[in-house]
Structure 1
Amino acid sequence: MAKTNLSLYHIIRESSLKTNAPLLIMLHGYGSDETDLYAFASELPEALFIISVRAPFPMPPYGNAWYAINFEAEKGKWSDTKQAAASRDLIAHFIDEAIATYPVDKDHVSLLGFSQGTVLGYAVALTYPHKVKNLVALSGYINTDLIPKDFKTLDYSKLDFYCSHGSLDQVIPVEWARQSKAFLAQLHIKFQYAEFPVGHGVAPQNFYELKAWLTQRIPHL
């Protein structure tokens, strides 16, 4: 079911619960759209109210992005930090809209991102930790330019992350993902980190692991 009445275009899968459903918001990768990660929805617990959103910047002829990437830039890829920060804040606002619009539990909001969607998922959770409980971070990394300078003063005690990456990833080097472990540890954020022998994608074993991880953290089950 597609929805256009909130600040981000999205599709939903309603929960088996009538009220206070745990909410899962899906954030797709660069050049994709809301239908990509939504393919996971049928395999995830029915108690979840699932919203898969479309990034705000169109990429003709098809697809969308959370922020622009210049692949021709010197010294590797250049990301538009201003656009990324705007998307971070837009997602945070969308969380509030979703809570006000749908029969979900504001205290059980999870984000699931892939690639660029994971970069934004980290940014939202680390900037607005009071809005998020769980994060599934697939094939992405922490961009410290997208979190507050005073991040060490924020309360991250309620956060719990599942982070995974392909050890053969040719798009986002696995070394970038590995750096997240030390970063999260220093903030005493609970996390699980895993690598799988694949490229820039989600291996079946990866999906089964993230599903089990997420299921264990869903109330009412």
Structure 2
Amino acid sequence: MLKELCGIQYLERKPNQITEKPKLMLLIHGYGSNEEDLFSFSEAFPDDFYVVSVRGIHSLAVGMYAWYEINFLDVGKFNNIPQGLESRDKLVRFIDEYTAKENCDKDEVWICGFSQGAILSYSIALNFPDKVRHVAILSGYPEDEFIGSIDSEKDYSKLDFYISHGTVDPVIPIEWARKGKPLLDSLNIKNEYHEYHQGHGLNPQNYTDFMKWVERGN
């Protein structure tokens, strides 16, 4: 059943194992998808997690949502940057409100974004490194206009990234995704980078490697 917090609708899987400070896994879908997409593997996450899959705040069509609009005809204005920054800031507020509401461990917040959701996950982690710890980037890339200037005074030491991308992705070129690891390395951020012979999605090996990363971080 859909719930709503901070103007964002979401699906939720409560922990199957009761702990004093449960962890939050926030799932952020891509352009044209919805909250049910990544939620499909919610039961695979550890039992002590709240698994929350959020719906994009911009409706494109029935069952299709986005975090910001994309203009496919104008390369110079490809992403609607103001909408993206608004969505990012709403997601940060959502994390604050949700962790407070459910008494989650604020030092163990996980976010997993696919495509557009992955682009925003980079932006959340690099602009608000105190809000998250583990970040999964699935078929995304670091967009300069969402990240802005890197603040060397910020503490990135606790961040841990998993990055994966398809070498034949027709939506986001692999060359864009490859910018992620050097950026994180330059900030001494722990990261694990994988490439797979796949398109814009998650093949079985990618899924397996992602879940192993979750197990190691947990």
Q: Which category of TM-score, normalised to the shorter sequence, fits these structures?
A: over 0.9
Aligned to 1:192: 192
Give me the whole-angstrom Cα distance separating, in 2, the residues matched to 1:25 and 1:50. Answer: 6
Aligned to 1:155: 155
Q: Spell out, residue by residue over 1:31-56, the C-alpha distance to the aligned partner (whole angstroms, 9 max, x if none).
A: 11110000111222212110100011
Shift of 1:5: 4.1
Is 1:18–1:103's contact at 8 Å kept on the other side of the alignment?
A: no
Aligned to 1:26: 27
Is 1:118–1:137's contact at 8 Å kept on the other side of the alignment?
A: yes
Give me the whole-angstrom Cα distance separating, in 2, the residues matched to 1:48 and 1:124. Answer: 20
Shift of 1:103: 3.5
Pairs within 5 Å for 1:4-153: 4-15=4-15, 16-74=17-75, 78-153=78-153
Give me the whole-angstrom Cα distance separating, in 1, the residues matched to 2:27 and 2:46. Answer: 14
Query: Which ranges of structure 2 fall in alignment gaps of 5 or more residues?
Result: none
Give me the whole-angstrom Cα distance separating, in 1, the residues matched to 2:46 and 2:164. Answer: 20
Q: Give the letter aligned to residue 34 of structure 2.
A: D
Q: CA RMSD in A?
A: 1.3
Shift of 1:150: 4.3
Give me the whole-angstrom Cα distance separating, in 1, the residues matched to 2:75 and 2:100. Answer: 44
Q: Spell out, residue by residue over 1:67-115, the C-alpha distance to the aligned partner (whole angstroms, 9 max, x if none).
A: 010111146x700111111111111000001111113211100000000
Q: Structure 1 vs Structure 2: percent identity of aligned residues?
A: 40
Q: Give the letter aligned to residue 50 of structure 1.
A: V
Give me the whole-angstrom Cα distance separating, in 2, the residues matched to 1:96 and 1:79. Answer: 26
Query: Which ranges of structure 1 fall in alignment gaps of 5 or more residues?
Result: none
Is 2:6–2:90's contact at 8 Å kept on the other side of the alignment?
A: no
- SS state at 2:25 partner: strand
- Stretch deviating more after TM superposition (38-47 or 89-98): 38-47
Is 1:181–1:193's contact at 8 Å kept on the other side of the alignment?
A: yes
Aligned to 1:164: 164
Q: Give the letter aligned to residue 185 of structure 1.
A: D
In the superposition, the TM-score normalised over structure 1's length comes to: 0.94
Is 2:24–2:110's contact at 8 Å kept on the other side of the alignment?
A: yes
In the superposition, the TM-score normalised over structure 2's length comes to: 0.95
Shift of 1:7: 2.7
Aligned to 1:202: 202
Give me the whole-angstrom Cα distance separating, in 1, the residues matched to 2:202 and 2:14. Answer: 24
